[in-house]
Amino acid sequence: MALKHINLPKTNHLILALTLLTVTLFDGGGSIIHGGYVQGAQAASNTERAAMRYRKDVMPNADSFSEKKGSPPVFEAYRRDPASGEDELIGYLIYSPDYPPEPNGYSGPIKVLVGMDLEGMITGVKVIFYRESLRYSSGDFLEEPGIESQFIGMSARDRFRVGKEVDGLSRATISMRAMSRTIRNSVRHVARAYLQ
């Protein structure tokens, strides 16, 4: 079926442009900038691919990583032993969407990649994706210095309470609580399955 070109009065073009601008502003641009219109498995695949760019950031001592495997799913992190030349397992990369339910921040779930060593200690955290309605007008709260790094060295046994073990962030309390719960739940799930 061929689409016909419809001639709209100029006022309709203006209304359409203003509507798109309003949606972009109130949505924080998330739907357009972050591929919000990509649905289902493709959207999940895109954010997981983005997460893989940060593997070394969350597990800096690793030389190589496995494909996602196991139940629950993890990426294994390896370091090459200089004496033997063999790869030895040093920890796991945890991609939070693999551990539902995902706690919601102010405008939806926060997808996080977490590195955890074999003692259950966090080696790194990287926020991969989140929506925040005020993100583009008031700043990217979760990208502020120290937000991700404060989790390094925390244990799967910690409580991850905002304002206690985790520093809060004014203007983003709901998102910080959701991020803390996301990390805590994912790390504990993997620790119970792989570190017992």
Predicted confidence (pLDDT) per residue in 60-82, tens digit? 999 999 999 999 999 999 999 99
Q: Are 178 and 103 in contact (CB under 8 A)?
A: yes
Average pLDDT, the chain: 76
Please name which of 186, 195, 193 lies closest in space to residue 70, comparing C-alpha atoms. Answer: 193
Residue 145: pLDDT band with limits 50, 70, 90: confident
Residue 39: pLDDT band with limits 50, 70, 90: very low
Place of tokens 């583009």: 136
pLDDT (tens digit per residue) in 96-122: 989 887 777 776 788 899 999 999 999
> What mean pLDDT do residues 148-156 have?
91
Judged by phi (left if over 0) then psi (alpha if -120 to 50, else beta), residue 62 lies in beta
Question: Is pLDDT at 25 greater than 60 in this prediction?
Answer: no
Residue 130: pLDDT band with limits 50, 70, 90: low
